Chains A and B, each alone.
Chain A
Amino acid sequence: MAASSARRYHVWVGTETGILKGVDLQRKHASNFTATGQPRREAAVSVLCWGAGGETQILVGCTDRMVRCFNTEEGAFEGQRRCPGGEGAFRGLAQAEGMLITCVDSGVLSVWRSDDKEAPSDPLLELKVGPGVCRMRQDPARPHVVATGGKENALKVWDLQRPEEPLFRAKNVRNDWLDLRVPVWDQDIYFIPGSQKLITCTGYHQVRVYDPTSPQRRPVLETTYGEYPLTAMALTPGGNSVIVGNTRGQLAEIDFRQGRLLGCLRGLAGGVRALQCHPSRPLLASCGLDRVLRIHRIRRPRGLEHKDELEEPQEPSEEPPEDSEVDELWASLEAAAKRQLPQANRTLRAPGTRKRRKCPRATVP
């Protein structure tokens, strides 16, 4: 593929067949990138994260335990490394100060030196966080702090510089009204920016906020949404709410200061696998098992911005959209699509909406 610095991809999506897709929302076009040129189901993408050096590198964690490095400017895979140790797929991938942090399903969290690419060396640090890990997330403010959680694996916050004991180990909530133990299944974790708090969504349709600075190890706030496991979460740019998605394709915005449901987003037909909000604009990208990437407008008015068929079951991952030119994105909604994509349909549906404005151009914050 030619040098794609002219082509700016707004969203990167990883798929179950091992293809990394870059989606250009202005031209409404998706390009496929594979490491070997052929899609391979063994190399299904399980996690994506940005690499070192701004947003020029993407680290792709695949089910064959390889972490591949993709250069967005060249549009090609650069190198790969094997990360053995433990079993299962990658559940978390992070980059910190020249080190690569990986966590697998069986609970082995490893820190690797990221310079020696090919030779599988021993990890710098290997930590056992408990079996059944569903997510490992790095704190964006403190790169050496990670949080892990999973099925019957309580939330733990680790400091990699002092790996013997976790910084914070969450305690399960009290027994329910039948005096039965409430099961634990943390599916996704986020660090709330501006504080040390964490927010998790569980497979038992709960959203919980933990505060490591308080003496209370139990969740500070707990709300439930729906009846189906929540599989993905994203923090909104405003900083007060999260958007969660469940296995049925229902997306909801929940305020975590009050524990209130702010509204729902519609459009998805299948289970949500990954959600990402734009860092500054109220846009949310969602992808899932129905093989469609959708961009939603979170507020004023809440609705579907753009829809792109990608024809692969999308696995986790999208990367946050890059900062694209503001006016061109808005103006591109009427542009002729390469693949006959539909016009953005403004489905307005939100309980508790704010005052809606008809003209979309006025909503740039």
Chain B
Amino acid sequence: MAKAGEKSGGSGKKGLKRKAAVADPQEAAVAGDGATEGGVQPPKATAFPPGFSISEIKNKQRRHLMFTRWKQQQRKEKLIAKKKLKKEREALGDKAPPKPVPKTIDNQRVYDETTVDPNDEEVAYDESTDEFAPYFNRETSPKILITTSDRPHGRTVKLCQQLSTVIPNSHVYYRRGLALKKIIPQCISRDFTDLIVVNEDRKTPNGLILSHLPNGPTAHFKMSSVRLRKEIKRRGKDPTEHVPEIILNNFTTRLGHSIGRMFASLFPHNPQFIGRQVATFHNQRDYIFFRFHRYIFKSEKKVGIQELGPRFTLKLRSLQKGTFDSKYGEYEWVHKPREMDTSRRKFHL
């Protein structure tokens, strides 16, 4: 029987092609009349009914065989097309059309109307008189209080300690079940400028509340992918006491500007370049990646970097005007998944 021959032929992979080619006329006999299947087989072989697709073959092994054969054919065709294109490009030389840029979600991003134009005076005025103005006018220098949610476990405690080495002039305090609304007036009276609360759930840190103190906005982030220092591979030695530089990438919209300024106001103004340390807040697709590196210039163009300190990813959940008051405070921006996440190419930061 044709089918028995097929089964025995289906053993080795190498034998597949030849056996399949041989099996074709038999399959044609079995399947009956009709057109070829996708024009893949040699014309003499097949006679499949029109509109037949491989997925309609009931026999799993034969179906798999046909599919593998089809895939190999596709790969071959693709390789041939690529080689042809390459040859054409080489033949044209300088006159070749530029290579088409592949579409990524980042370059298909829906243009956001709130993207800040660098020449916009209204936004410039707004930023020069907002709550971060004292920091950016060098009237105050940052003093940070880092704490956690109540009864933190080891990972969170270590993260706070490592954060305090990364952020200069920061102090870690144990949260003894105190209410944030009571902590905040005390911080203000002791001249703290920012409050960071690392929220913990099931022994891992999963949230961050960053509140700028005298009366400034409060940002609530979701934190994920936290890696402590010992979990980072090929890392350098512990960070020194030098004030790091900061890199804020890709905060383009008005909301992004506010958040970027919030991060910038955590660090003192004059970075000490001797320390060669840099903290990066990189925004991509609304996720903010925090990294802390030490760099060294090996020559004018080559840099080597070592990752030091902790690394985590943040996603903004809400930005509230005023200090922490989740019940009665007014929100400047709230993330609403069902309304804002409808398009995969629209981002808000």
Contacts and interface: CB of A to CB of B under 8 A. Distances in A.
A291 interface: yes
Interface string B327-341: 111111110100110
Given A290-B333, A309-B114, A247 B122 contact: no
- Residue of B129, B329, B332, B340 with most chain A CB atoms under a 10 A cut-off: B332
Given A228-B327, A249-B331, A271-B330, A311 B120 contact: yes
B113 A342 contact: yes
Interface size class of B (residues with CB under 8 A): 20 to 34
B321 A289 contact: yes
Contact of B113 (A41, A229, A289, A340): A340
Contact of A271 (B123, B126, B332, B348): B332
A263 interface: no
B71 to A, nearest CB: 41
Contact of A39 (B122, B254, B328): B122
Contacts of A41: 129
A269 interface: yes
Name, among A19, A291, A339, the residue most crowded by chain B CB atoms within 10 Å (CB to CB). A291
User: Could you tell me the dominant secondary structure of chain B's interface residues?
Assistant: mixed
A292 B321 CA distance: 16
B18 to A, nearest CB: 58
Contact of A311 (B122, B329, B336, B339): B122
Contacts of B329: 247
Contacts of B297: none
A290 B332 contact: yes
Contact of B340 (A248, A269, A292): A269
A309 B113 contact: yes
A203 B329 CA distance: 11
A270 B126 contact: no
Contacts of B327: 227-228
A28 B206 CA distance: 42
Nearest to B115: A309
B33 to A, nearest CB: 48
A341 B348 CA distance: 16
Contacts of B111: 340
Interface string A243-275: 000011100000000000000001101110000
Interface in A287-339: 289-292, 307, 309, 311-313, 339
Interface residues of A, number: 33
A17 B332 contact: no
B216 to A, nearest CB: 14
Contact of A291 (B114, B129, B331, B334): B114
A197 to B, nearest CB: 28
A136 B196 CA distance: 39
B339 A267 contact: yes
Contacts, number: 71
A231 interface: yes
A313 B339 contact: no
Main secondary structure of the interface of A (DSSP, over half): loop
Contacts of A223: none
Given A17-B125, A247-B328, A271 B113 contact: no
Interface string B123-147: 1011001000000000000000000
Contacts of A80: none
A32 interface: yes
Contacts of B125: 17, 38-39
Given A39-B122, A41-B129, A339-B113, A247 B331 contact: yes
Contacts of B113: 307, 309, 339-342
A269 B339 CA distance: 9
Contacts of A17: 122, 125-126, 129
A38 B121 CA distance: 10
A341 B111 CA distance: 10
Contacts of B122: 17, 19, 32, 39, 311-312
Interface string A162-191: 000000000000000000000000000000
A247 B330 contact: yes
Contacts of B254: 291, 311
Nearest to B120: A311
A358 B339 CA distance: 21
A289 B328 contact: no
Interface string A217-249: 000000000011101000000000000000111
Contacts of B321: 271, 289
B328 A271 contact: no
23 contacts: A17-B126, A19-B122, A32-B122, A39-B125, A203-B328, A228-B327, A229-B328, A248-B334, A266-B339, A269-B333, A269-B336, A270-B330, A270-B333, A271-B330, A271-B332, A289-B332, A289-B333, A291-B254, A311-B120, A311-B123, A313-B126, A313-B332, A339-B113
Interface of B: 111, 113-114, 120, 122-123, 125-126, 129, 254, 321, 327-334, 336, 339-340, 348
Given A19-B122, A228-B327, 5 more contacts: A228-B328, A266-B339, A311-B254, A312-B126, A339-B113
Interface of A: 17, 19, 32, 38-39, 41, 203, 227-229, 231, 247-249, 266-267, 269-271, 289-292, 307, 309, 311-313, 339-342, 347
The 4 A-B pairs of least Cβ separation, nearest first, read A271-B330, A247-B330, A289-B332, A309-B113
